[in-house]
Amino acid sequence: MDKIAKIRSQLIGSQEPPKRYAHTGIVTAVEGKHCKVKLPGGLEVSNVKLAATIDEDENELLLVPKVGTAVVMISLTGTENNLTVIKADEVEYVSYQQDGLELLIDSRDGKLKVSNEQESLKDIFDKLIALLRAFKVHTPAGPSGTALADVVIEIDDLEAKFNRLLK
């Protein structure tokens, strides 16, 4: 018996793997890390998981579907009471958290959040804007004044663009 066949035999043992069927439906509500889904026959299923495991650990990738979008679900145990969304046609937001790193892509407000335990991209750009507003250089006549009006307009425009993109 070759190596792959031995591994397969040990993983499966004498039991057949549980049969898992994909189910489709339309999301009717989202509640935290779960959603409600209306199946094609009209039955509404609640407590459908949005992540393969739901625990207290903050390390996760969470894809939250829009209400009204089609989803594909599968049961992790082979039973209908443990359905998990594995694909959504439209995602309202994506949240990724891993060991203090956080990435949020939010289509609700069209903004992005990138942060870790020490910094956030939004805070860094806010500090950069403040620095540009107060920037001075040494001249033979002493320190320069603050930015000229045309530069202030450009700084304001840069700040507005960051605020439209970042959380």
Range of the domain at 73: 3-93
In this structure, are 130 and 59 located in the same domain?
no
In this structure, are 85 and 22 located in the same domain?
yes
Domains: count for the chain? 2
Tens-digit pLDDT profile for residues 43-82: 999 999 998 776 667 788 999 999 999 999 998 777 777 8
Let me know: does 32 contact 47? Beta carbons within 8 Å. no
Residue 61 in any domain: the answer is yes
In this structure, are 67 and 9 located in the same domain?
yes
Give me the pLDDT at residue 146, please.
83
Q: Give the CATH number for residue 15.
A: 2.40.50.140
How far apart are the C-alpha atoms of 142 and 34, rounded to whole Å?
62
Evaluate if pTM is beyond 0.85: no
Place of tokens 């309202």: 92
Give me the pLDDT at residue 1, please.
64
* Positions in the chain whose pLDDT score sits under 70: 1, 12-19, 54-56
> Helix (H) and strand (E) counts for the chain?
3, 11
Let me know: does 97 contact 122? Beta carbons within 8 Å. no
Cα(first)–Cα(last) distance of the chain, in Å?
A: 56
How far apart are the C-alpha atoms of 113 and 104, rounded to whole Å?
5
In this structure, are 75 and 135 located in the same domain?
no
Residue 75 in any domain: the answer is yes
In this structure, are 79 and 8 located in the same domain?
yes
Q: Which amino acid is at 78?
A: G
In this structure, are 131 and 85 located in the same domain?
no
Q: Please give the structure tokens belonging to residue 29.
A: 């509500």
